[in-house]
Structure 1
């Protein structure tokens, strides 16, 4: 098979993060460190520098790969402020979210249908429920123990006053322990994941007005890049950012903002969790966008997941499993990053139980790379379309339409 031609000298990259409240500099640092590691393993040169100007946070990449020099501008399409607002919830409010979210997924039957696709991401979704309930139980037991000990010590000495003091101590122990659990959520991830799943469940899959406005901003940024003197405009959507990317690009193409003869337009979805939203009753907008984008000849869409990523719906065709695959579906090309083959056995053993770290492996270095290399895709001389033009889809991809809700209009 002939090697793809080097057709890219300049590229614009737009990265849409998942549900993440952290400043986007974390993605710059991840790119900086991991690209250097991958370059050393694969034998090419790549360097990152601070972005000079621009309205959005990003960085510049200069690479020499396969003897070709490429300049890329990477920008993060930020919605972390929306995430932070959605996470600004009290302890009591979070437990109310738990009840509502469980009702949405269980009551609608979505949970059981999602389990027919992949059990890993469903277990990940159940984890915050189990952890929050466990924390509540521990706090209740601590309160009961404090009350019992307080009554044993204080009641003989102070009578009724001792009883009240013991009761107050029990309540205090409960509150203190619940606050401690929340303060330590950087270790437990229970509140964070609960807010994540509750965000989509709150509207049963519909976008909030604030998110619709942000998607419009994203579309404007990409449309501007499509008018620039570049060879490829690449949109990367990771985790929850994948389904946001679907809607942004569907809007752009529907509105006629992708002109023929312009830069190649490409979409790379990584570690997608699309079914967590598309399987909800009010996700009409997302399902319509999935169906529309899947037949478009205005872009190339490649979807990369891996069975080793327990937080993603690995090898699930997001269009087909959502029950909206139209006749003539072209996209996405679904294949695996094959963590168990692209990482050496020692590296895989070191990472296999670090579930959240593995969910970001798509943007990290592989020490035994196959045909997936994030840094060659974003900084190399070949378009996404040419790179995977002859790449077959993974034979084990899942295309069964198991979604109960397939409507594309409210």
Structure 2
């Protein structure tokens, strides 16, 4: 089988067509079972195929690995087979979300203090206000829930205290009744406030306050350093990708990192490339979607991530395309994650920063329907576009052209942000 020649990569490849591909998808901070991504791919690829006039089908996976699916496609004049595998870290996410209600409020205080005291928050606001507002949303929502719980508990507690004191004053005296009344006040207040806070938490599937708070707290807890369990999982992911590269049975190995999965993917690939690659190998591509890299790389102890960004951006052995859209309020849209983090080397090659341009690639009716559904829009990169442009997730993952070849003539977005903004640029711990 011929290997793919990729512009900007070393001569480990020959030929121009992808017939077989391995795709490794790294989700963001998501506690949900990976079947969600299988079903999303199935439904949205079928929708895109109807719109764009190609054929694509999905069935159980044939390659090894924990979870994934197999794709057969006939598009762009060729037949392609692809195995998609989800690199699962949802168990780590669920573990980090197990905090009690009081612990979550402690997380809120600690996370807010870290971002404010380090200056990261103010610097992030110079990039895009959308994701910063998204970061502030759980703080505001959780504080609002706490205020409502206090306001609800207070009158109930006052009434209960008054009734108890009035009823006991004659029997045990006003002083004794006051002590008992105070205890009743505290018990009733605590019970009502606690009930309301638990009620809010039970509905977090619609409010997302606890979910987002845990997300930001997870990255901020060690001030940008990877928690040990995530570092270990990055090592596991690296080995899975290495096995696919060394097996050399496909034409392209493509890593897709969405949201927080983008910065996980950066570290996976940086470690892989530092180890060295075999001379004969598939083309290697990295597609980052809706990235939130600055939320981590701007923190003081994110030495590892900044070093990985710097290293990966200069590598001739990979093609890296970063796709975002200003309409996605949860991503740092069109912010070059290497440049804004202040670690761009002189020989920087990557990433190619382009826009999915939701307002253009979605019809006016569809855009109107989705525009204010912020969390749904954050996943639009994985979905069908009814007025597709040059970004088509299913052509990239199941089409006959490598990532590098598909975008080699694509100019970066003119409105991309490249100004070094982070206050912390060190790539090694002091």
What interval of TM-score do these two structures reach, taking the shorter chain for normalisation? over 0.9
1:352 counterpart (358, 361, 371): 371
- The alpha-carbon deviation at position 373 of structure 1 amounts to 0.3
2:182 and 2:311 map into 1 onto residues whose CA distance is 67
Aligned-partner SS, 2:253: strand
Quickly say closer, same or farther: Cα 1:53–1:336, change in 2 above 3 A: closer
Which of 1 and 2 has greater Rg? Answer: 2
1:83-122 correspondence runs (5 A)? 83-122=93-132
User: Residues 210-253 of structure 1, C-alpha deviation per residue, up to 9 Å, x if partnerless?
Assistant: 11111111011001111231000000000000001001101111
1:187 counterpart (185, 206, 218): 206
Task: Please name the residue that 2:4 is paired with.
Answer: none
1:49 aligns with 2:59: yes
TM-score, normalising length: structure 2: 0.92
Checking the alignment, whether the CA contact within 8 Å between 2:162 and 2:181 is kept in structure 1 is no
Task: Please name the residue that 2:328 is paired with.
Answer: 309
- The alpha-carbon deviation at position 70 of structure 1 amounts to 0.3
Quickly say closer, same or farther: Cα 1:232–1:34, change in 2 above 3 A: same
Task: Please name the residue that 1:200 is paired with.
Answer: 219
- The alpha-carbon deviation at position 150 of structure 1 amounts to 2.4
- The alpha-carbon deviation at position 55 of structure 1 amounts to 2.8
1:141 and 1:79 map into 2 onto residues whose CA distance is 39
Aligned-partner SS, 1:88: coil
Task: Please name the residue that 1:133 is paired with.
Answer: 143
1:250 aligns with 2:270: yes
Task: Please name the residue that 2:84 is paired with.
Answer: 74
2:193 and 2:225 map into 1 onto residues whose CA distance is 36
Quickly say closer, same or farther: Cα 1:53–1:158, change in 2 above 3 A: farther
Task: Please name the residue that 1:231 is paired with.
Answer: 251
1:209 and 1:79 map into 2 onto residues whose CA distance is 13
Q: After the TM superposition, which of the residue ranges 400-409 and 146-155 deviates more from structure 2?
A: 146-155
Checking the alignment, whether the CA contact within 8 Å between 1:6 and 1:68 is kept in structure 2 is no
1:156 and 1:294 map into 2 onto residues whose CA distance is 74
1:144 aligns with 2:139: no
2:254 and 2:226 map into 1 onto residues whose CA distance is 24
Task: Please name the residue that 1:293 is paired with.
Answer: 312
1:103 and 1:151 map into 2 onto residues whose CA distance is 37
Could you list the runs of 5+ residues in structure 2 that have no partner in the other structure? 1-6, 8-14, 170-176
1:260 and 1:53 map into 2 onto residues whose CA distance is 23
1:7 and 1:227 map into 2 onto residues whose CA distance is 19
Could you list the runs of 5+ residues in structure 1 that have no partner in the other structure? none
Aligned-partner SS, 2:246: coil
1:154 and 1:15 map into 2 onto residues whose CA distance is 61
CA RMSD in angstroms, aligned pairs only:
1.4
Task: Please name the residue that 1:259 is paired with.
Answer: 278
Checking the alignment, whether the CA contact within 8 Å between 2:65 and 2:85 is kept in structure 1 is no
- The alpha-carbon deviation at position 383 of structure 1 amounts to 0.5
2:392 and 2:356 map into 1 onto residues whose CA distance is 9
1:34 and 1:46 map into 2 onto residues whose CA distance is 11
Aligned-partner SS, 1:56: coil
1:124 aligns with 2:124: no
Checking the alignment, whether the CA contact within 8 Å between 1:154 and 1:163 is kept in structure 2 is no
After TM superposition, where is structure 1 displaced by more than 6 Å over at least 4 residues in a row? none
TM-score, normalising length: structure 1: 0.97
- The alpha-carbon deviation at position 282 of structure 1 amounts to 0.4
1:19 aligns with 2:29: yes
- The alpha-carbon deviation at position 151 of structure 1 amounts to 3.5
- The alpha-carbon deviation at position 52 of structure 1 amounts to 4.0
Task: Please name the residue that 2:10 is paired with.
Answer: none
1:212 and 1:151 map into 2 onto residues whose CA distance is 53
1:283 counterpart (302, 305, 309): 302
Checking the alignment, whether the CA contact within 8 Å between 1:291 and 1:325 is kept in structure 2 is yes
Task: Please name the residue that 1:395 is paired with.
Answer: 414
Aligned-partner SS, 1:372: coil
1:211 counterpart (230, 235, 244): 230
Checking the alignment, whether the CA contact within 8 Å between 2:242 and 2:272 is kept in structure 1 is yes
Checking the alignment, whether the CA contact within 8 Å between 1:272 and 1:305 is kept in structure 2 is yes
1:369 aligns with 2:388: yes
- The alpha-carbon deviation at position 355 of structure 1 amounts to 0.4
